[in-house]
């Protein structure tokens, strides 16, 4: 592959690495006690450097340990609804944030060749750990303007067709496909229906079922129903520890089944959308650990873990002959379900 | 409770007239408001003689309308749902299933069987909207998969009559995965060179449309059927204005290029026969 520099999406100005710029601006309720303590630590630290009082550093150390411990405790006992909030955290790393961290090179490519370039779906040629891959993912935006540009990662039919075009391109040149999944769902709009949202999703499921190259999927944030599944028919799919994957949003489920969107926390429990539940029901093949306090607290660590999993999966899948690869993919999906014969 | 119509054999196309209670002697058309004599309606395959509105009909009707007389044989009838998630909303999932079973006399939202259509060997699957909104869960997915396996084993064509509100959220992600499972099976059917004809009826939405319903070698639809991905209410909410008339109806979808034909109920069988002859007739081998 030609030497390429990372081409950054429009959101990258705001999304730069490092703990502080990523995590500071948005705090969820259950994170508040920790955030408060961390704010105090920061205050003390500026005081300590300002006045040169070394004695403070012992106290700072102690408080930092306490904060780390508190964060661990909070994250150990998260409810499904809290995980939903983390999965949707506006500071959570998105597809292009992973791209900059896991790819040695990246050349973004655009368009579905039929209607438009859907900015909710990004695709490009990448090299990960020396392996050339086609990387495809939903792309959320950071901030209002960027989110409008990305349509909140809710793809239109042309987004799924764009994804499919690059999968076919990957197949033509025998390159594995990596998909990063992070969408509230397929866009429910007028134009989307006109241009065949259902057909576009169905086509992807069908074509992914027969794509003759390895496909590895990672749910990095929100796996929203059919819009997520449309790039998720894979040989292996892994999910980040606090990411979710659900047949319907908890709010949608609550308003239909409980007739009250306010029951979303309850619906989040019932839907079994957390990583451990999904593993239990064989919906995902594995869970990727997140750094303490979630991926948004240390995107570099999250990305390193994602990269390691991609390389492990590719290591297993690339040597498989095409017929065995496809047979195993088919078998994996044929097995999913629970029924009684009598 | 057994479904008498599936057990009844060799009684011909005409189903038993409904009990002539004063309640159902006359039927009001949902579309034009015309009052129709119910026996007349039955003779016309439950299509309004005035405006052509297609009344919803139970699955056995499609058996009698579409298949060669006496050829229908249901399989996998006993397959039924478990409650993998232990799902409970206002009602337990297992209770919802029990209620649907009682209401429809079926075990699930998809009935599958072997049959002949114009002499061509087929497997037909018929969805039932009255069974939990025709929603697709594990059992529908598995029955679909086995229907494909039957096609593969006996070289049969696959016909599926869809009407469904989408995936069954009481089975969570297990249900969403049935979209992938059915699509995977359709690849196997295609690899074997066997045809799949999808007939979309009112209403077909959500993940059902976004998987096997849209994947026919040929997609047919009854007139005026609601077909889409997102439900009209959701879209209305998204765009904040009323939807254009006829939006997401069969005619709209054909105009946009997603259906091959719109076929009135009385012509579906002959259309299927034409298609199956084209797809299945053995051509003499060139020497």
Put simply, the answer to whether B235 touches A190 (Cβ < 8 Å) is yes
- Residue among B251, B136, B222, B226 at smallest CA distance from B182: B136
Same domain? For A57 and A171 the reply is no
- Model pLDDT for residues B120-175, shown as the tens digit of each residue: 999 999 999 999 999 999 999 999 999 999 999 999 999 999 999 999 999 999 99
Measured between beta carbons, which residues in chain B are less than 8 angstroms from residue A251? none
Q: What average pLDDT does this structure show over B237-263? A: 93
Q: Please give the tally of structural domains in chain A.
A: 2
Number of neighbouring beta carbons within 10 Å of residue B88: 17
Same domain? For A105 and A58 the reply is no
Mean of the per-residue pLDDT values of chain B: 91
Same domain? For A105 and A61 the reply is no
How many helices and strands, by DSSP H and E, does chain A display?
15, 9
Measured between beta carbons, which residues in chain B are less than 8 angstroms from residue A272? 85, 172-173
Return the residue of B nearest to A274 by Cα: B173
Cα-Cα-Cα-Cα dihedral sign, residues A135, A140, A146, A148? positive
Is the pLDDT higher at B275 or at A33?
Answer: B275
pLDDT at A2: 41
Give whole-number Cα distances, B155 to A101, B106, B113, B281, in Å.
51, 27, 14, 12
CA-based end-to-end distance of chain B: 56
**If you compute the radius of gyration of chain A from its CA atoms, what whole number of angstroms results?**
21
Put simply, the answer to whether A271 touches B171 (Cβ < 8 Å) is no
Reported ipTM: the value is: 0.90
- Segments in chain A below pLDDT 70: 1-25, 49-54
Same domain? For A72 and A179 the reply is no
CA distance B116 to B269: 11
- Does residue A9 belong to any structural domain of this protein? no
Same domain? For A119 and A66 the reply is no
Same domain? For A312 and A216 the reply is yes
- Does residue A84 belong to any structural domain of this protein? no
- Does residue A60 belong to any structural domain of this protein? yes
- Does residue A279 belong to any structural domain of this protein? yes
Residue B278 has pLDDT above 90, yes or no: yes
pLDDT at A34: 87
Where among A56, A78, A100 does a domain terminate? A78
CA-based end-to-end distance of chain A: 56
Where among A78, A104, A126 does a domain terminate? A78
Task: Tell whether A323 lies on the interface with B, counting CB pairs under 8 A.
Answer: no
Same domain? For A159 and A245 the reply is yes
Where among A53, A78, A103 does a domain terminate? A78
Put simply, the answer to whether B176 touches A341 (Cβ < 8 Å) is no
Q: Chain B: give the shortest CA distance to residue A208, in Å.
A: 9
For the range B26-35, what are the long-range contacts, defined as Cβ-Cβ under 8 Å and sequence gap of 24 or more? Answer: B27/B55, B29/B53, B29/B55, B30/B55, B31/B224
Cα-Cα-Cα-Cα dihedral sign, residues B89, B94, B98, B103? positive
CA distance A333 to A329: 7
Same domain? For A123 and A228 the reply is yes
pLDDT at A38: 87
Same domain? For A137 and A239 the reply is yes
Q: Chain A: give the shortest CA distance to residue B32, in Å.
A: 27
State the pLDDT confidence band at B1, using cuts at 50, 70 and 90. Answer: very low
Tell me which residue range forms the domain holding A216: 91-335
What does DSSP say about strands B26-28 and B35-37: parallel, antiparallel, or unpaired?
antiparallel
Q: What average pLDDT does this structure show over B187-197? A: 98
Q: Which CATH architecture has domain B56-279?
A: Alpha-Beta Complex (3.90)
pLDDT at B256: 97
Put simply, the answer to whether A330 touches B184 (Cβ < 8 Å) is yes
CA distance B8 to A253: 40
pLDDT at A279: 97
Residue A202 has its nearest CB partner, among B191, B215, B234, at: B215
- Read off the tokens for B32: 């034009």
Q: Chain B: give the shortest CA distance to residue A204, in Å.
A: 9
Measured between beta carbons, which residues in chain B are less than 8 angstroms from residue A271? 85, 169, 172-173
Return the residue of A nearest to B214 by Cα: A199
Number of neighbouring beta carbons within 10 Å of residue A135: 27
Same domain? For A153 and A185 the reply is yes
Residue B242 has pLDDT above 50, yes or no: yes
B-contacting residues in A 223-242 (Cβ below 8 Å): 225-226, 229-230, 232-233
Burial of B269 (0-12, 13-18, 19+ CB in 10 A): middle
Return the residue of A nearest to B142 by Cα: A337
Q: Do you know the residue count of chain A?
A: 342
Measured between beta carbons, which residues in chain A are less than 8 angstroms from residue B92? none
pLDDT at A25: 58
Is the pLDDT higher at B94 or at A54?
Answer: B94
Farthest-apart Cα atoms in chain A, separation: 78
Q: What is the CATH number of the domain that holds A127?
A: 3.90.226.10
B-contacting residues in A 276-295 (Cβ below 8 Å): 278, 281, 283
CA distance A257 to A74: 30
pLDDT at B287: 55
* Residues 6 or more apart whose Cβ sits within 8 Å of residue A60: A41, A44, A45, A48
Return the residue of B nearest to A210 by Cα: B187
Same domain? For A113 and A188 the reply is yes
Return the residue of A nearest to B146 by Cα: A334
Give the global pTM: 0.90
Alpha-helical (H) ranges within chain A are: 19-23, 32-51, 56-76, 80-87, 95-102, 144-150, 157-172, 190-194, 197-210, 225-229, 250-253, 264-270, 275-280, 299-317, 322-334
- Does residue A133 belong to any structural domain of this protein? yes
CA distance A44 to A25: 20
- Does residue A210 belong to any structural domain of this protein? yes
Q: What average pLDDT does this structure show over B179-199? A: 98
Question: Looking at chain B, which residues constitute the CATH 3.90.226.10 domain(s)?
Answer: 56-279
A284 prior amide bond cis, ω within 30: no
Same domain? For A47 and A190 the reply is no
Put simply, the answer to whether A337 touches B257 (Cβ < 8 Å) is no
CA distance A260 to B251: 35
Give yes or no for a contact between A297 and A31, defined as CB atoms under 8 angstroms apart. no
CA distance B186 to B204: 19
pLDDT at B4: 55
CA distance A309 to B79: 38
Put simply, the answer to whether A341 touches B211 (Cβ < 8 Å) is no
Put simply, the answer to whether B180 touches A333 (Cβ < 8 Å) is yes
pLDDT at A6: 39
pLDDT at B83: 93
Give yes or no for a contact between B164 and B182, defined as CB atoms under 8 angstroms apart. no
Task: Tell whether A203 lies on the interface with B, counting CB pairs under 8 A.
Answer: yes
């Amino acid at each position: 592959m030609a030497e390429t520099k990372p081409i950054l999406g429009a959101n990258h100005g705001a999304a730069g690495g490092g703990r502080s710029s990523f995590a500071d601006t948005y705090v969820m309720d259950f994170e508040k006690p920790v955030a408060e303590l961390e704010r105090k630590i920061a205050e003390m630290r500026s005081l300590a450097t300002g006045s040169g009082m070394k004695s403070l550093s012992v106290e700072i150390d102690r408080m930092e340990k306490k904060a780390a411990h508190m964060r661990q405790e909070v994250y150990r006992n998260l409810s499904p609804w809290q995980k939903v909030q983390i999965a949707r955290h506006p500071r959570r790393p998105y597809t292009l944030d992973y791209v900059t961290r896991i790819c040695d090179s990246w050349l973004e490519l655009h368009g579905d060749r039929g209607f438009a370039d859907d900015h909710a779906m990004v695709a490009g040629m990448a090299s990960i750990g020396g392996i050339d891959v086609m990387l495809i993912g939903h792309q959320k935006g950071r901030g209002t303007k960027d989110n409008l540009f990305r349509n909140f990662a809710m793809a239109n039919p042309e987004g799924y067709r764009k994804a499919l075009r690059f999968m076919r391109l990957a197949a033509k040149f025998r390159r594995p496909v990596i998909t990063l999944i992070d969408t509230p769902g397929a866009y429910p709009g007028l134009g989307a229906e006109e241009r065949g949202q259902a057909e576009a999703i169905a086509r992807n499921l069908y074509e992914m079922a027969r794509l003759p190259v390895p496909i590895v999927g990672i749910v990095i944030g929100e796996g929203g129903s059919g819009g997520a599944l449309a790039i998720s028919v894979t040989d292996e799919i892994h999910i980040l520890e606090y990411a979710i994957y659900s047949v319907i949003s908890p709010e949608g489920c609550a308003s239909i089944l409980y007739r009250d969107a306010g029951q979303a926390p309850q619906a989040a429990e019932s839907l079994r959308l957390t990583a451990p539940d999904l593993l239990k029901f064989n919906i995902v093949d594995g869970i990727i650990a997140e750094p303490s306090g979630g991926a948004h607290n240390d995107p570099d660590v999250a990305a390193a873990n994602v990269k390691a999993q991609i390389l492990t999966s590719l290591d297993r899948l690339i040597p498989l002959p095409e017929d065995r690869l496809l047979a195993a993919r088919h078998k994996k999906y044929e097995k999913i379900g629970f029924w009684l014969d009598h | 409770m057994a479904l008498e119509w599936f057990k009844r054999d060799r009684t011909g196309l005409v189903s038993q007239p409904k009990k002539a209670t004063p309640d159902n002697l006359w039927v009001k058309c949902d579309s034009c408001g015309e009052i129709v004599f119910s026996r007349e309606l039955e003779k016309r395959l439950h299509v309004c003689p005035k405006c052509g509105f297609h009344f919803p009909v139970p699955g056995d009707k499609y058996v009698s309308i579409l298949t060669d007389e006496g050829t229908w044989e249901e399989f996998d009838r006993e397959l039924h749902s478990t409650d993998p998630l232990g799902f409970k909303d206002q009602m337990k999932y297992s209770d919802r299933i029990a209620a649907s079973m009682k209401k429809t006399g079926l075990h699930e939202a998809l009935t599958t069987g072997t049959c002949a259509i114009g002499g061509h060997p087929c497997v037909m699957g018929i969805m039932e909207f009255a069974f939990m909104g025709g929603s697709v869960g594990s059992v529908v997915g598995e029955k679909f998969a086995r229907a494909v396996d039957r096609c593969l084993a006996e070289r049969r064509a696959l016909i599926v009559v869809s009407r469904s509100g989408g995936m069954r959220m009481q089975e969570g992600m297990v249900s969403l995965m049935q979209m992938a499972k059915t699509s995977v099976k359709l690849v196997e059917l295609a690899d074997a060179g066997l045809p799949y004809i999808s007939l979309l009826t009112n209403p077909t939405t959500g993940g059902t449309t976004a998987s096997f319903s849209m994947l026919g070698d040929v997609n047919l639809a009854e007139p005026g059927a609601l077909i889409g991905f997102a439900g009209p209410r959701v879209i209305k909410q998204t765009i904040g204005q009323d939807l254009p008339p006829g939006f997401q109806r069969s005619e709209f979808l054909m105009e946009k290029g997603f259906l091959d034909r719109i076929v009135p109920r009385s012509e579906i069988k002959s259309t299927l026969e034409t298609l199956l002859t084209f797809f299945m007739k053995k051509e003499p081998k060139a020497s």
